[in-house]
Amino acid sequence: MIAVACLALAGSGGYWLGKQGGDQPAATSAQAPAAAPASAKQERKLLYYRNPMGLPDTSPTPKKDPMGMDYIPVYEGEDDGAAGTSGASSQIRIGTEKVQKLGVRTEAASLRTLDKTIRAAGRIEPDERSLYTITAKFEGYVERLHVNVTGQAVGKGQPLFEAYSPELISAQREYAIAAQGLQSLKEAGGDAQNGMAQLAAASLARLKNWDISEEQVKTLTQSGEAKRTLIFRSPVNGIVTEKKAVQGMRFMPGEVLYQIANLSTVWIIADVFEQDIGLVKPGTLAQIRINAYPGRVFEGAITYIYPTLKAETRTIPVRVELANPGQLLKPGMFAQMELAIRGKGKVVTVPASAVIDSGVRQIVLVQLQEGRFEPREVKLGARSEDHVEVLAGIKDGEAVVVAANFLIDAESNLKAAVGGFGTAPASAASAASGAEAAPGKASGIEHRAEGKLEAIDAKAGTVTISHGPVASLKWPGMTMDFILANSGQLGNLKPGASVAFSFVERKPGEWLIIKLEGAGAARPAAHSGH
């Protein structure tokens, strides 16, 4: 009985084990249908199709561009949630660590009144209306100098020098004889008296044309004796700024002997830069600072804006008239002029450091979110010391990059060439999952091709190349233009040469050659990490 019981227990145990083993495949097969829907959910979602050349053109359905190239599909996660926006391809994405290392700093665009101070360098010059030149209208000799030092102050009517001239003596004698003859023929009438009167008048006019004073003429008439020398006197109160007269020298008619300036009023001639001249108007108040008198400010108003521009300095002279009591302001002194220009009202402004000026257009980097920036072309207006008016492109309150924006721009342009730029989380996720990056984007990919150099435009810095298929971009063979990183890449290459080259997308639709090789070509230096 004990043996029978053991056999019964062994049989029941074997049946139970067999049943457990038979149920296991069923459970496995039951789980298989559940796994299939899970994998189906992981399929990437197609968002749209984009232009293969990077142009801002998308399509919800497959299509071809004018060159016959297929539009490239863009899947969810490859465009960082910017589906259907052509501007997303131009956005710059940087890792948080990279942002901190670059020292990126942002500031909100704001409404403010742009008051501007225009500064210009100038110099003190004498008032041109108070300059006098002393010359003789006859040939003669300097007999005696009364003022013989440059810089000497003189008063109006003060003797400057005495001149001797044979012509002067002859003219005096001629007039004296004519005057005496007229006196003797006073009682007579007729033609003799009229002729003598005309001779006397002509002799007197000649003397006056030589600047002989009325006093000297009167003395000559009374005495009848010709003076050997003629005294030249100062016409104004002023300073002798130039003295060429030397005692005993011979002078010719019209030769400058003295120059006298009245310095009671002086001019400040300041050179205003071309871009600021539109803000300057006659009557604008100016503050003048002179190095010789630190801490002292002279004030005056713009009286004249000169009509010509100095091509060498791109400046236009403006004039300020200043009273000069005590003659503190000396001609030739250096002056600094400041003009306070009031703004026209509150306008949208950004810090001047936020603007990247390429010479062709102005760009401002707008921070969309942490580590994500959008370059925007802006139209600029008036400027102040630290801010610039934005007429279009930026709205009030938007955050713009004011520090390290040039580094961001440089990093983004070189991103494809050096491959060391921080990647966006979405791109990293795609790479980790084995997803293929969207071709044509500046995402660290350096493309290579071979072809034939068709044409060279040295002025524009471009070349035309007929190249074969580019696998990394899924391009067929075609002929297109490329931009050279520098003119030295060409070396001795001529149209018709076979070339091998590497290129990157600097911005949408703009392809930059970073390496160019061919018979006689200059090999560029190897790129290193930045």
Query: How would CATH label the architecture of 446-518?
Result: Beta Barrel (2.40)
Domain with CATH 2.40.50.100 in the chain: 128-257
Contacts of 266 (CB under 8 A, 6+ apart): 124, 125, 126, 127, 321, 322, 324, 329, 331
Contacts of 471 (CB under 8 A, 6+ apart): none
pLDDT at 432: 33
| CATH superfamily of the domain spanning 263-341 | Efflux pump adaptor protein, beta barrel domain (2.40.30.170)
pLDDT tens digit sequence for 119-140: 999 999 999 998 999 998 889 9
CATH topology of domain 91-114+345-418: 2.40.420
pLDDT tens digit sequence for 187-207: 666 676 777 777 777 877 777
Domain with CATH 2.40.50.320 in the chain: 446-518
CA distance 116 to 121: 17
pLDDT at 217: 73
* Closest by CA position to 76, among listed 84, 64, 65: 84
Of 50-59, 143-152, 232-241, 310-319, the poorest mean pLDDT is in 50-59
527 DSSP 8-state letter: P
Q: What is the mean pLDDT of the chain?
A: 76
Helix (H, G, I), strand (E, B) or coil at 107: strand
CA distance 157 to 237: 8
HEC states along 281-299?
Answer: CCCCEEEEEECCCCCCEEE
Tokens representing residue 313 in the block: 């300095």
Compute the average pLDDT of residues 158-164.
91
CA distance 156 to 236: 4
pLDDT at 514: 86
Domain with CATH 2.40.420.20 in the chain: 91-114+345-418
Query: Phi and psi (nearest 5°) for 385?
Result: -65, -45
Domain with CATH 2.40.30.170 in the chain: 263-341
Greater pLDDT, 101 or 319: 319
> What pairs with residue 147 in β-bridges?
none
CA distance 530 to 524: 17
CA distance 515 to 501: 5
* Closest by CA position to 163, among listed 217, 216, 230: 230
- The one-letter code for the residue type at 275 is Q
Tokens representing residue 509 in the block: 């639709």
* Full-model pTM: 0.49
65 DSSP 8-state letter: -
pLDDT tens digit sequence for 306-329: 999 999 999 999 999 999 988 899
Greater pLDDT, 420 or 47: 47
211 HSE (CA, 13 A, CB side): 16
Report whether pLDDT(93) > 80.
no
DSSP assignment of 177-233, as one string? Answer: HHHHHHHHTSS--SHHHHHHHHHHHHHHHHHHHTT--HHHHHHHHHH----SEEEEE
pLDDT tens digit sequence for 177-188: 777 777 677 666
Compute the average pLDDT of residues 139-167.
91
Compute the average pLDDT of residues 150-164.
91
Residue keyed to tokens 């010391």? 385
Greater pLDDT, 202 or 97: 202
Q: What percent of the chain has pLDDT over 90?
A: 22
CA distance 507 to 65: 19
CA distance 147 to 226: 25
pLDDT at 508: 75
CA distance 277 to 381: 15
Report whether pLDDT(82) > 50.
no
Report whether pLDDT(30) > 70.
no
* CA 344 centroid distance within chain: 23
DSSP assignment of 155-167, as one string? Answer: -TT-EEEEEE-HH
DSSP assignment of 290-351, as one string? Answer: ETTSTT-EEEEEEEEE-S--BTTTTEEEEEEEEE-GGG-SPTT-EEEEEEEE--SSEEEEEE
Helix 191-209 and helix 214-223: axis angle, to 10°?
140
Report whether pLDDT(90) > 80.
no
Q: How many angstroms separate the most distant Cα atoms in the chain?
A: 200
Greater pLDDT, 104 or 409: 104
pLDDT tens digit sequence for 255-293: 999 999 999 999 999 999 998 888 899 998 999 999 889
Query: How would CATH label the architecture of 128-257?
Result: Beta Barrel (2.40)
pLDDT at 405: 72
CA distance 465 to 513: 11
320 and 124 Cβ atoms separated by less than 8 Å: no
Report whether pLDDT(148) > 60.
yes
User: What does each C-alpha distance from 507 to 120, 141, 217, 529 come to in angstroms?
Assistant: 40, 81, 90, 20
